[in-house]
Chains A and B, each alone.
Chain A
Amino acid sequence: MLGEPLTRNNVNHDGAPSKMVVEGLSAFYGSKKAVSGVSLGFREHTVTAIIGPSGCGKSTLIRCLNRMHEVVPGTRIEGRVLLDGEDIYRQDRVSVRRRIGMVFQKPNPFPTMSVYDNVAAGLRLNGMRKRAVLDAAVTKGLKQAALWDEVKENVYGPGIGLSGGQQQRLCIARALAIEPEVVLMDEPCSALDPIATAKIEDLIFDLQKTYTVVIVTHNMQQAARVAEYTAFMYLGELIEYDRTEKLFEQPTQKLTENYITGRFG
């Protein structure tokens, strides 16, 4: 059962369904409110970017989308987050996180595992033991992450032996191997050099054929390059959400315009 297409700020998903919908979401660290009353929908098979200055709550927002926000003690949320119409906070956390994968800001491959074991980690967690299935999934994941050619000779080498950009792609492969439906990325390129960044941006653009992607970025050009839709947040609130070209060329909110033209942030 798919959610209703959301309209906000005159953006209409052209009748297209939203894979994930956020309704009135507020997120708290103790008593501090980091995200305030955000509502928007993430269109299926699309890359949606969330931009905004530091501290605007975009990282917190994306972490609420797969319940990673709860990992920190003392946190809570209000509102709902729907995946295919069902509130993820009412479901089992483990299965939610399997359907919604995450890639973090700094590459964090498991240091004591090989490349193969890293990618297979998610599958093994779910009890998959068959070598053939694992092999196929690892290969597929690495190919989807555009890492296969670079590691296929040494798939059993240590995961941390790779370069920064390769490690991040390894983490992407790891997230993709369990075949999620949504892929969340929290500033995936901020720790990488421009060449690695370019490779990953190409990758992200390709991923939307198979997955729904939500990416947080502090780099507006990156949003312009990869995302079809962009949301702009400021101080925990959603200020504007629109097709990327429209948001950048003809923003309807003054705040958005100020941010885009570099008057702050």
Chain B
Amino acid sequence: MLRRPRTPGQTFFSRLRTFFRRRFLDLTFLGITLAVALGLLALLTAFILVLLNASRLAIDRFGLALLGEPRWAPSAGHFGFLPFIDGTLITAAVGLVIAVPISLGIAIFLSELAPRWLSEPLGYLVELLAAVPSVIFGFWGIFVLVPVMRTTIDPALASANASVNQALHVNIPVFTGPILGSGVLTAGVILAVMIIPTISAISREALRAVPSPQREAAFGLGATQWEATRISVLSYARIGIVGAIILGLGRAVGETMAVTMVIGNSDFVPTSLFSQGQTIASLIANEFLSTYSNPLTASAFLEAALVLLLITLTINIGARLLVWRLVRSTGGGGIE
């Protein structure tokens, strides 16, 4: 307890009163902030509970079978989530396959290879990508990316696929089917662009956290810049990089607007990368408003939201456990 110097005129009791008043205010303030902070945890649990409750109708009727059922036609009574789970997984996978190497390249360039005057502005520009709203990405996707895919990239991929099939006498249906420009592949490409800032920023932090004696040990042996990065930095930063990638996955799975605008919105299980498809998020964005009046259908949508929430939570908890120490120590509250 801090003792204030006695001022004349203050009785013992008035000082006592002040003392308790201050303690009371202190405790009140602590109580308020604690309650609010606990409220956040309560909010998280509320997410799960409310969605669980709201999807009770659908869960009672269909249970978990929804996850494996491939037909989605609510008006006819078919409620299958498989097309959307597939769509989510495929687009996220495509996104990761494209984004991970590029993000690592960016992280290595900015953290190890580039001089400071170059890495600061370039790093900032890459992070700017994260500031562009999803709907604008989708908009650009429709009018720029989709035509490019349709006229240039998809045909090239299709013919490559065809040649491989021909040469090996197999029928691998990866880049097959009608080419519309939109579809799961295009959605994956847009997702890749959107998660690159996330993965590269956190990987950069992971690389920066490698202590310099590690690099010096490699240089002392006569390693080139890349070799030093390879043997000392990348292996040391392994865990952080994996965490970064999983965080990117989490973002890709939950991304809604950009995906909705380029994925083609077809409620069938995708059969090739050119297929039009739908993710859980885009399903809700596209079709909820037209069907919510039917309680069973609305409940099914809410169950879909619950599934998406659980998937995202699992991914994010896993990733944060890996990255936790890294992001905190660098004060990166704005990185997600």
Contact B222 A97 (CB under 8 A): yes
Contact B220 A112 (CB under 8 A): no
Given A108-B213, A125-B231: A71 touches B222 (CB 8 Å cut-off): no
Q: Which residues on B sit within 8 Å (CB–CB) of A28?
A: none
Contact B217 A171 (CB under 8 A): yes
Smallest CB-CB separation from B213: which chain A residue?
A108
Contact A175 B221 (CB under 8 A): yes
Smallest CB-CB separation from B230: which chain A residue?
A125
Q: Which residues on B sit within 8 Å (CB–CB) of A125?
A: 221-223, 227, 231
Which residues of chain A from 62 to 85 have a CB within 8 Å of any chain B CB?
A: 66, 68, 71, 73
Write the A84-117 contact mask toward B (1 if CB under 8 angstroms, else 0): 0000000001111110011110101111110000
Contact A112 B222 (CB under 8 A): no
Q: How far is the CA of A8 from the CA of B235 in the complex (A)?
A: 47
Q: Which residues on B sit within 8 Å (CB–CB) of A96?
A: 222
Given A73-B115, A94-B222, A95-B222: A106 touches B213 (CB 8 Å cut-off): yes
Smallest CB-CB separation from A177: which chain B residue?
B221
Q: Which residues on B sit within 8 Å (CB–CB) of A66?
A: 220
Write the B105-123 contact mask toward A (1 if CB under 8 angstroms, else 0): 0000000000110000000
Contact B222 A178 (CB under 8 A): yes
Smallest CB-CB separation from A66: which chain B residue?
B220
Q: How far is the CA of A95 from the CA of B224 in the complex (A)?
A: 10
How many of chain A's residues have a CB under 8 angstroms from any CB in B?
A: 29
Contact A71 B219 (CB under 8 A): yes
Most interface-central of B217, B222, B224 (chain A CB within 10 A)? B222
Q: Which residues on B sit within 8 Å (CB–CB) of A104?
A: 213, 216-217, 220
Give A54 Cβ to nearest chain B Cβ, in Å.
Answer: 19
Count class of interface residues, chain B: 20 to 34
Which residues of chain A from 103 to 158 have a CB within 8 Å of any chain B CB?
A: 103-104, 106, 108-113, 121-122, 125-126
Which residues of chain B from 231 to 271 have a CB within 8 Å of any chain A CB?
A: 231-232, 235-236, 238
Given A110-B231, A110-B232, A112-B235: A175 touches B213 (CB 8 Å cut-off): no
Q: How far is the CA of A252 from the CA of B116 in the complex (A)?
A: 47
| A174 on interface, CB distance cutoff 8 Å | yes
Q: How far is the CA of A113 from the CA of B230 in the complex (A)?
A: 12
Q: How far is the CA of A114 from the CA of B235 in the complex (A)?
A: 13
Q: How far is the CA of A113 from the CA of B213 in the complex (A)?
A: 15
Q: Which residues on A sit within 8 Å (CB–CB) of B116?
A: 73
Contact B216 A108 (CB under 8 A): yes
Contact A112 B236 (CB under 8 A): yes
Give B220 Cβ to nearest chain A Cβ, in Å.
Answer: 4
Give A159 Cβ to nearest chain B Cβ, in Å.
Answer: 11
Most interface-central of B217, B218, B231 (chain A CB within 10 A)? B217
| B56 on interface, CB distance cutoff 8 Å | no
Which residues of chain B from 205 to 229 have a CB within 8 Å of any chain A CB?
A: 212-224, 227
Smallest CB-CB separation from B235: which chain A residue?
A112
Q: Which residues on A sit within 8 Å (CB–CB) of B221?
A: 97-98, 101, 121-122, 125, 174-175, 178
Smallest CB-CB separation from A95: which chain B residue?
B222
Smallest CB-CB separation from A171: which chain B residue?
B217
Q: Which residues on A sit within 8 Å (CB–CB) of B236?
A: 111-112
Contact B115 A71 (CB under 8 A): no
**Contact partner, A97, options B213, B215, B220, B238, Cβ 8 Å:** B220
Contact B220 A68 (CB under 8 A): yes
Q: Which residues on A sit within 8 Å (CB–CB) of B213?
A: 104, 106, 108
**Contact partner, B223, options A94, A102, A108, Cβ 8 Å:** A94
Most interface-central of A93, A94, A106, A175 (chain B CB within 10 A)? A94
Q: Which residues on A sit within 8 Å (CB–CB) of B115?
A: 73
Q: Which residues on B sit within 8 Å (CB–CB) of A93?
A: 222
Q: How far is the CA of A121 from the CA of B236 in the complex (A)?
A: 15
Q: A101-B220, A110-B217 are in contact. List 5 more A-B contacts (CB 8 A).
A: A101-B221, A103-B220, A109-B217, A112-B236, A174-B217
8 pairs of A and B residues whose beta carbons are closest in the complex: A97-B222, A102-B220, A98-B222, A112-B235, A108-B213, A122-B221, A108-B217, A94-B222
A to B CB contacts below 8 Å, 11 in the list: A68-B216, A73-B115, A104-B217, A104-B220, A108-B213, A108-B214, A108-B216, A110-B214, A110-B232, A110-B235, A112-B236
